[in-house]
């Protein structure tokens, strides 16, 4: 049930194991130019042509989705919360995705532009775009600096993954620039004091200086006056920490209410990074089994997203071979459909390692963590590979929530998914 011994692995994937670890690493450079990494969202529906909202497609370069939304919100004169999206797209890519907004005119949306983001097309629609409302994403990647042996190894990896599926790791970009977002989720489980301290520590950075460090030092105050003075510090802080400082100034020494001042969506994002790390633990332990079910597994139905406990393996083998079903891993929560037997034991160890093996009431987190199942593999669909001298061009499609960096990791086996700073527009 466990993969062969590997190193402790990176913070985003403890015990990281590769499906193609018998194939030597491919040496290449990724994301040298903005056009080297392109992603296009596949929408679940087309604009209706009428309604109170505007559905519009953007192209962004060097910006994450939240930053692009913030920039467009300022241009359109609306709060960022008024803009809906179906998914988050990497800052280190030329990305096309759909957004929606209620309020501005169609012409205002069509004309909207900001550094690094432009509107491609827009039309009226009856409702706001919600997270998850997409069919998947198409990727175009250019890898540079390959030699003949590198092309040979890459071809072996692609053939193998086309047959067995791509390991469905949450990529390192899911865990923030420093790869430490999961630590905020872990601190949430401990309590508000730990969460606020970790939030301030990460904002202060390695230097441990600046306004975030001042806030961190004030969190342990025992006198109300020390917290009331934080109101003067708030304008110098990032938005989440500014909200914390203002709340402590209003309600000194009440760390619980200060933690709740961080927007629920942000706190949920921090916690979901911890859930993702636990899932990656399970996947690493079961890397050799992603294309077959075991007794006690919870099977994932790719067509519908449903999941069910496996009782009899025989009738399901053909469906697994057709990529209709796959084994799944846990996204922890109060309604998680848990595996049993050997798969259940792997999951229990992974959840315990992250402190997620206990009930998670909404009153403790400040939001509801229901739980879900995520497939251990996904199809590497519509794959095209073209070698040209030192270049390898790849085109493929992945389901929503899956990461192209998982393919880069299988090729390079670097433990970093070969991340690089977001490229700047040329």
**Mean pLDDT, rounded, for 159-177:** 94
Asked whether residue 2 is domain-assigned, the answer is no
Asked whether residue 145 is domain-assigned, the answer is no
End-to-end CA distance of the chain: 48
Judged on CB neighbours under 10 Å (0-12, 13-18, 19+), 96 is: middle
Beta bridge partners of 100: 55, 84
Question: Both 276 and 258 in a single domain?
Answer: no
Measured CA to CA, the distance from residue 44 to residue 49 in angstroms comes to 15
Measured CA to CA, the distance from residue 60 to residue 54 in angstroms comes to 18
Question: Both 277 and 203 in a single domain?
Answer: no
2 pLDDT higher than 70:
no
Asked whether residue 176 is domain-assigned, the answer is no
Decide if 167 contacts 406 (C-beta within 8 A).
yes
**Mean pLDDT, rounded, for 320-349:** 96
Of residues 388, 407, 409, the one with CA closest to residue 396: 407
pLDDT at 1: 56
Of residues 305, 263, 351, 272, the one with CA closest to residue 88: 272
Measured CA to CA, the distance from residue 380 to residue 398 in angstroms comes to 6
pLDDT at 418: 53
Residue 183: its H or E element: helix 181-190
Beta bridge partners of 387: 392
**Mean pLDDT, rounded, for 382-401:** 97
41 pLDDT higher than 50:
yes
Decide if 173 contacts 405 (C-beta within 8 A).
yes
pLDDT digits (tens, 9 = 90+) for 68-95: 999 999 999 999 889 999 988 888 899 9
pLDDT band at 6 (very low <50, low <70, confident <90, very high): very low
pLDDT digits (tens, 9 = 90+) for 172-219: 988 987 889 999 999 999 999 999 999 999 999 887 889 999 999 999
Residue 45: its H or E element: none
Question: Both 312 and 240 in a single domain?
Answer: no
Measured CA to CA, the distance from residue 240 to residue 345 in angstroms comes to 38
421 pLDDT higher than 60:
no
Residue with tokens 């775009």: 129
Measured CA to CA, the distance from residue 66 to residue 88 in angstroms comes to 8
Asked whether residue 31 is domain-assigned, the answer is no
Question: Both 53 and 111 in a single domain?
Answer: yes
Asked whether residue 212 is domain-assigned, the answer is yes
Of residues 66, 72, 276, 61, the one with CA closest to residue 168: 276
Question: Both 208 and 278 in a single domain?
Answer: no
347: domain CATH number? 3.30.2340.10
pLDDT at 210: 92
Of residues 267, 104, 274, the one with CA closest to residue 182: 274
pLDDT digits (tens, 9 = 90+) for 240-296: 999 999 999 999 999 999 999 999 889 999 999 999 999 999 999 999 999 999 999
Decide if 94 contacts 34 (C-beta within 8 A).
yes
Of residues 178, 359, 189, the one with CA closest to residue 259: 189
The last residue of one of the domains, among 132, 163, 190, is 132
Question: Both 112 and 201 in a single domain?
Answer: no
| Average model confidence (pLDDT) across the chain | 92
Question: Both 279 and 336 in a single domain?
Answer: yes
Asked whether residue 420 is domain-assigned, the answer is no
Question: Both 189 and 88 in a single domain?
Answer: no
Which domain does 50 fall in, by range?
A: 45-132
58: domain CATH number? 3.30.2350.20
The last residue of one of the domains, among 132, 167, 196, is 132
Tokens standing for residue 307: 């999941």
Beta bridge partners of 61: 94
Q: What is the largest CA-CA distance in the chain?
A: 69
Asked whether residue 91 is domain-assigned, the answer is yes
pLDDT at 424: 34
Q: Considering the entire predicted model, what is its pTM?
A: 0.91
Asked whether residue 386 is domain-assigned, the answer is no
Tokens standing for residue 161: 């993954």
Tokens standing for residue 67: 């930053």
Question: Both 302 and 324 in a single domain?
Answer: yes
The last residue of one of the domains, among 262, 278, 304, is 262
C-alpha to C-alpha distances, 25 to 18, 22, 378, nearest whole angstrom: 11, 9, 22
Measured CA to CA, the distance from residue 42 to residue 84 in angstroms comes to 16
Identify the weakest region by mean pLDDT among 141-145, 366-370, 388-392.
Answer: 366-370
Question: Both 222 and 308 in a single domain?
Answer: no
| Tally of domains within the chain | 3
More confident residue, 64 or 352: 352
Question: Both 244 and 288 in a single domain?
Answer: no
Give the residue numbers annotated as catalytic, written as ranges: 90
Question: Both 185 and 253 in a single domain?
Answer: yes
């Amino acid at each position: 049930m466990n993969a062969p011994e590997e190193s402790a692995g990176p913070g985003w994937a403890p015990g990281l194991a590769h499906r193609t670890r018998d194939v030597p690493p491919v040496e290449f450079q990724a994301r040298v130019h903005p056009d080297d990494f392109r992603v296009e969202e596949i929408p679940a529906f087309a604009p209706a042509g009428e309604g109170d909202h505007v559905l519009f497609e953007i192209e962004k370069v060097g910006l994450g989705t939240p930053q692009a939304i913030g920039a467009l919100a300022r241009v359109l004169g609306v709060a960022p919360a008024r803009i809906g999206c179906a998914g988050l797209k990497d800052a280190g890519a030329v990305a096309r995705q759909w957004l929606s907004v209620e309020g501005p005119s169609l012409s205002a949306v069509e004309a909207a532009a900001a550094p690094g983001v432009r509107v491609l097309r827009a039309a009226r629609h009856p409702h706001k775009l919600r997270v998850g409302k997409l069919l998947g994403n198409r990727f175009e990647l250019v890898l540079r600096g390959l030699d003949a042996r590198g092309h040979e190894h890459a071809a072996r990896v692609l053939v193998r993954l086309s047959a067995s599926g791509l390991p469905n790791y949450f990529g390192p970009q899911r865990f923030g620039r420093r790869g430490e977002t999961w630590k905020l989720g872990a601190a949430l489980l401990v309590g508000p004091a730990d969460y606020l301290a970790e939030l301030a520590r990460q904002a202060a950075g390695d230097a441990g200086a600046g306004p975030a460090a001042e806030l961190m030092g004030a969190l342990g105050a025992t006198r109300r006056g020390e917290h009331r003075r934080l109101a003067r510090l708030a304008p110098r802080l990032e938005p989440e920490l500014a909200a914390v400082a203002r709340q402590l100034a209003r309600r000194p020494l009440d760390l619980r209410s200060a933690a709740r001042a961080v927007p629920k969506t942000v706190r949920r994002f921090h916690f979901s990074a911890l859930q993702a790390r636990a899932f990656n633990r399970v996947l690493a332990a079961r890397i050799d089994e992603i294309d077959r079910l075991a007794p006690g597994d919870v099977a994932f139905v790719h067509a519908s997203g449903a999941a069910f406990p496996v009782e009899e393996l025989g009738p399901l083998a053909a469906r697994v071979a057709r990529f209709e079903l796959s084994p799944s891993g846990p996204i922890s929560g109060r309604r998680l459909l848990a595996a049993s037997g050997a798969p259940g034991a792997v999951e229990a160890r992974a959840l315990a390692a992250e402190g997620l093996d206990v009930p998670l009431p909404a009153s403790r987190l400040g939001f509801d963590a229901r739980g879900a199942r995520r497939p251990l593999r996904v199809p590497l669909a519509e794959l095209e590979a073209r070698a040209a001298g030192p270049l390898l061009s790849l085109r493929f499609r992945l389901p929503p929530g899956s990461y192209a960096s998982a393919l880069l990791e299988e090729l390079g086996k670097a433990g970093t998914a070969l991340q690089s700073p977001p490229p700047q527009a040329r």
